[in-house]
A and B are shown apart, each in its own frame.
Chain A
Amino acid sequence: MIKKYRSIALLLMLISLHSFVLTGTGFAQQVIQEEKSGITQEEESQDKITPGAQNIKESIGIFVFVVWMWVAIFVLIYIMRLKIKEVDRLFEIRYLSEKKK
C-alpha cells in the first residue's frame, strides 16, 4: 500500500515539475517583455512615497506609543491569566462537586 502511495506522490511531483523543465512559457514571456520595457529602479524610487514619521517629535511619539501599547498588553495578559486561573478553579470545583453527587 505504501508503494502505491509513493508512486502516486511521485506522479504528482512529476506533474508539478514537468513545467519547470519545459521552455516557452506564456505568461512568463509576457511579464518578462513588460519588465524589459519598464523604467529603472532609480527612477521608480523618486516617484515613491515612503510613509513614516515626519519629524523627530512624531517618531518619538510613535515609539512611546508602541512601548506603552506593549506594556498595556502585558498587564492585560497578566490580569487575564489570573481570571483564567479563577474561572478554571471554579469550573473544576463545580465539576468535582457534580461528580461526587
Chain B
Amino acid sequence: MKEQGMKKGFRSWLDERSGLSTIFRFMSEKTVPQHRHSIWYYTGSAILLFFAIQVITGFMLVFYYNPTLEGANQSVARIMTEVPLGWIIRSVHSWCSSFMIALVFIHLLSIWITKAYRKPRELTWMSGVFLLFVSLAFGFTGYLLPWDDLSLSATKVGTDIPRSIPGVGVWVTKLLRGGEDVTGDTLTRFFGFHVSILPVFLLAILAVHVYLIQKQGMSTPLAEEKKGEKMKELPFWPNFVYREMVVWLILTGILFSVAIFFPPSLHKAADLMAPAPEGIRPEWYFLFLFQMLKIFPAKILFINGDTLVVLLMLLGIVAFFFLPLIDNRPEERKGKFITVIAFLFIVYAAAMTVWSLL
C-alpha cells in the first residue's frame, strides 16, 4: 500500500516537471487509419528501430576505431579478430545500414505511390527526402572508414562525380576530399562527417519530421479516401504500438541472423600508390547511379557525358524534393502520370542494379 503511494507520488512529481502525461494522453487519442495499405505505416518506426541499432553499435565500434591512415584498417581488423564479438557488432552495423536505407527507400516510394504527401503534408515529405540523403551520406562516408583497397577506389570514383557540376564541382570535390586527392585527410574528414556532423543533421531533421507527422496525423491513401466510406481507426497507443513491436521483433531477428551468418569481410589496407583492384563497386544503394555513369556516352553533341548525367541526377533530386508541389492535382491525369513515373523508376533502378551486379 505504502509502495503504491510512493509510486503514485513519484509519478505525479515527475509529471509536474516533465508533462509526460500530456504526451501519453496525446498518444492514446491519436488514431491510425486501418485499410489495405496499412502495412506501409510500419516502415517509419522500423527505420527508427534500425537507426537506434546503428547508434548503439556505432558507439561500440568507435571505442576501438582509429581514424588515421596507419591505424584505420588495422583497428577494424582488430575489431574483427581480437575484440570479443567485435565481428558481430561490425556486421550488425554494416547490415543495419543496408536494412535502414532499404526501408527509407520503401517508405518514400510507398508515400509516393499512395500520394501521402498531399496537402498539408508537403513539408513532411521534404523533411523525409532530406533524411534519405542524410542516410545515403552516412552510407557513403561509412564505406571509406575500413580503409581497404575497395573502399578507397569506390570513394575516389564517388568523390570525383561532383567534379562534373559546372562552376562549383571542383570545389565540392575538394571539400569532400580535403584536398585534390583521396588521402588520410579524406579519411579524417569522412570520420568527422560520419560521427559528428551527419548525426546532428539527422537528429534535427528527424525531430522536425516526427513533429510534422504528429501535427498532421497519419495520411490516408487517395484510393481509400475516394471510396468515401467511414474508415476504421485504431488507437496509436497501445493497439498500433503493440503491432509495431511484433514487426520490430521480426526485423531484429532477421538482422541479427543475417549479420551472424553473412559478416562483411575486410580487404588489405589501402595503398594510395597502388592500382585500383578488381570489381570496384559502391554499396548496393548507389549501384544504379554507378551503372548509369558507367554506360553513359563520353560525349553527347558538345556536352560532356559525365556533366550531363550529373546534371540529370541533380534535376531528378530537385524534382523528387518538390514532388508534392509538382503533383498538386493527384487525383487528376497529371497525378496518375506521376504514379506511373514512380513505377518506372522502381523498374529502372532495379534493372540498373541487377545489370551492375552481372
Enumerate chain A interface residues (CB-CB to B < 8 A): 1, 5, 8-9, 12, 16, 19-20, 22-31, 34-35, 37-41, 44, 47-52, 62, 65-66, 69-70, 73, 76-77, 80-81, 83-84, 87-88, 91
Contacts and interface: CB of A to CB of B under 8 A. Distances in A.
Contacts of A87: 238-239, 242
Contacts of A51: 80-81, 87, 90-91, 263-266
Interface stretch (B58-66, B179-187, B253-261): B253-261
Interface stretch (B48-56, B128-136, B198-206, B243-251): B243-251
A47 B298 contact: no
Given A48-B268, A51-B263, A20 B278 contact: no
Contacts of B39: none
A69 B253 contact: yes
A26 B246 contact: no
B114 interface: no
A52 B87 contact: yes
Interface stretch (B12-20, B189-197, B211-219, B289-297): B289-297
Contacts of A34: 153, 275-276, 280
B335 to A, nearest CB: 13
Interface string B336-348: 0100110010001
5 closest A-B pairs (Cβ-Cβ)? A47-B268, A51-B87, A34-B276, A26-B298, A28-B294
Nearest to B274: A39
Contacts of B77: 49
Given A8-B337, A51-B91, A52-B87, 17 more contacts: A12-B341, A23-B297, A24-B297, A25-B295, A34-B280, A38-B278, A39-B278, A49-B266, A50-B263, A52-B263, A66-B257, A69-B253, A73-B250, A80-B242, A80-B245, A80-B249, A84-B242
A77 B263 contact: no
Contact of B253 (A9, A12, A70): A70
A39 to B, nearest CB: 6
B interface secondary structure, majority:
helix
Contacts, number: 130
A76 B309 CA distance: 49
Contacts of A5: 337, 340
Nearest to B351: A16
A7 to B, nearest CB: 12
B263 A19 contact: no
Contacts of A62: 88, 260
B260 A27 contact: no
A22 B280 contact: no
23 contacts: A5-B340, A19-B295, A19-B297, A20-B295, A23-B297, A24-B299, A26-B306, A27-B296, A31-B157, A38-B276, A40-B278, A44-B267, A48-B266, A48-B267, A49-B80, A51-B87, A51-B91, A52-B263, A69-B256, A73-B252, A76-B249, A83-B242, A84-B246
A24 to B, nearest CB: 5
A5 B223 CA distance: 20
B253 A73 contact: yes
A38 B253 CA distance: 39
Given A26-B305, A37-B276, A39-B278, A48 B294 contact: no
For B250, B267, B298, the residue with the greatest tally of chain A CB atoms inside 10 Å of its CB is B298
Contacts of A65: 260
Contacts of B249: 73, 76-77, 80
Contact of B344 (A9, A29, A73): A9
B234 interface: yes
Contacts of B257: 66, 69-70
Contacts of A73: 249-250, 252-253
Given A12-B344, A27-B293, A51-B91, A80 B246 contact: yes
A24 B300 CA distance: 11
B166 interface: no
A76 B7 CA distance: 27
A38 B275 contact: yes
